[in-house]
């Protein structure tokens, strides 16, 4: 089908060029004695025949080129294509306005050839401006949307039925795996957005020669499959990329700014970067710390001493949520389940640590 369209295009183009220019070529070559050749209708027929023959030579190349363009357009994210198209239309309109005064010039090369080149160049520039500055345009639209949520006197009003912000997952939180359980309990609302560059990083980790990295990458891919197939949550892919940015974390922050999204992570450093740049962030480590059971000095717990501690005679136990308990004089109870009395609780940036003593020793004292 595409070949037939190419052939028809060549025939129409050849006929049009022959109709317009063959009489001028005949006069230029001083062949006016052959009056038949000066007929534009004969030129149209000859041009159509010549270009029809040429179409068989170039049709395969043109069809291949069009398929290549088609595949490239399909891969372009819809947002990029939209703003590129808007820029193209603006470029065509500007070219039309510029070409209007050129039509009045009697010199044919200026009135017919130059407008064609100007149209192509300005349309291309318009597409490039719309495509490359899409992020700025989206920011402007986001700002305009926020401004509509304010009254003219400066008082903010709550937008009616405002959509939830998309939650953008980073690599660390996907590999961690707890995000799937959080989504399953409906504590995380809205669309879960997986950028393509995050998926590519996960795939790269899963293909690593290092066994530990490979297992982590595969675990992350399994978590994504679970989110998409087993959990009732809206998961979408973001196929765009920021070619001018190299670091994946920087791409995440920039994406969150562009679409007014929320970064979901358990990376402490990324958390700080988001805070500094004014990007909303959810850290699941903060959530985990917030829901840990509260224990106070003087309370009693039943724990199993797992191993010895760093200091002499210390034993180490753990709560169900992973909180470490340092049991003084607990080394002799390794492998046993005992009652302990909490002596102090230490909250650090790495988490919470509980100090305790075996209850039997307290009673003995």
What's residue 189's pLDDT?
A: 81
Closest CA to 255 of 205, 202, 197, 200: 197
Q: Tokens at residue 88, please?
A: 């193209």
**Phi/psi class of residue 339: alpha, beta or left (left: φ > 0; alpha: ψ in -120 to 50)?**
beta
In the predicted model, is pLDDT for residue 10 greater than 50?
Answer: yes
pLDDT digits (tens, 9 = 90+) for 155-194: 444 443 446 788 888 888 898 888 888 888 888 888 888 8
252 class by beta-carbon count within 10 Å (0-12 exposed, 13-18 middle, 19+ buried): buried
DSSP assigned state of 159: P
Mean pLDDT for the stretch of residues 257-281: 86
Q: What is the CA radius of gyration of the chain?
A: 35
In terms of DSSP bridges, do strands 281-283 and 262-265 run parallel, antiparallel, or are they unpaired?
Answer: parallel
In the predicted model, is pLDDT for residue 82 greater than 70?
Answer: yes
Round to whole Å and give the CA distance between 205 and 197. 12
In the predicted model, is pLDDT for residue 28 greater than 60?
Answer: yes
Sign of CA dihedral 36, 38, 42, 43: positive
User: How much is the pTM?
Assistant: 0.47
In the predicted model, is pLDDT for residue 219 greater than 80?
Answer: yes
Question: Higher model confidence: residue 294 or residue 141?
Answer: 294
pLDDT digits (tens, 9 = 90+) for 114-144: 778 888 888 888 888 887 776 666 666 665 5
Domains, the chain: 2-135 (no CATH), 167-290 (3.40.50.1010), 300-364 (2.40.50.140)
Residue 102, C-beta contacts closer than 8 angstroms, at least 6 positions apart: 110, 111, 114, 115, 118
DSSP assigned state of 157: -
């Amino acid at each position: 089908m595409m070949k037939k369209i190419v052939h028809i295009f060549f025939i129409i183009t050849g006929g049009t060029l022959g109709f317009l220019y063959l009489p001028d070529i005949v006069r230029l070559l001083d062949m006016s004695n052959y009056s038949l050749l000066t007929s534009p209708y004969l030129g149209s027929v000859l041009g159509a025949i010549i270009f029809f023959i040429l179409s068989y030579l170039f049709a395969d190349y043109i069809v291949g080129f069009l398929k290549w363009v088609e595949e490239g357009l399909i891969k372009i994210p819809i947002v990029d294509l939209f703003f590129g198209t808007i820029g193209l239309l603006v470029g065509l309109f500007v070219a039309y306005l510029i070409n209007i005064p050129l039509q009045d010039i009697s010199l044919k090369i200026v009135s017919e050839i130059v407008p064609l080149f100007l149209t192509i160049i300005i349309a291309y520039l318009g597409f490039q401006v719309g495509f490359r500055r899409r992020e700025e345009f989206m920011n402007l639209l986001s700002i305009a949307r926020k401004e509509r949520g304010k009254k003219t006197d400066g008082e903010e009003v709550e937008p009616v039925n405002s959509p939830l912000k998309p939650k953008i997952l980073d690599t660390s939180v996907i590999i961690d795996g707890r995000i799937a359980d959080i989504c399953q309990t409906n504590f995380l609302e809205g669309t879960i957005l997986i950028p393509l560059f995050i998926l590519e990083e996960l795939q790269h980790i899963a293909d690593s020669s290092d066994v530990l990295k490979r297992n982590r990458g595969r675990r992350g891919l399994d978590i994504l499959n679970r989110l998409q197939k087993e959990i009732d949550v809206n998961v979408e892919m973001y196929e765009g990329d920021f070619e001018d940015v190299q670091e994946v974390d920087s791409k995440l922050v920039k994406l969150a700014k562009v679409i007014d999204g929320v970064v979901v992570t358990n990376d402490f450093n990324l958390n700080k970067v988001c805070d500094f740049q004014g990007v909303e962030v959810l850290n699941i480590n903060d959530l985990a710390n917030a829901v840990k059971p509260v224990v106070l000095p003087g309370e009693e717990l039943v724990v199993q001493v797992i191993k010895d501690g760093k200091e002499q005679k210390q034993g180490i136990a753990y709560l169900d949520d992973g909180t470490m308990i340092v049991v003084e004089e607990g080394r002799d109870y390794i492998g046993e389940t005992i009652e302990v009395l909490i002596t102090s609780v230490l909250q650090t940036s790495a988490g919470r640590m509980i100090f305790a003593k075996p209850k039997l020793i307290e009673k003995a004292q």
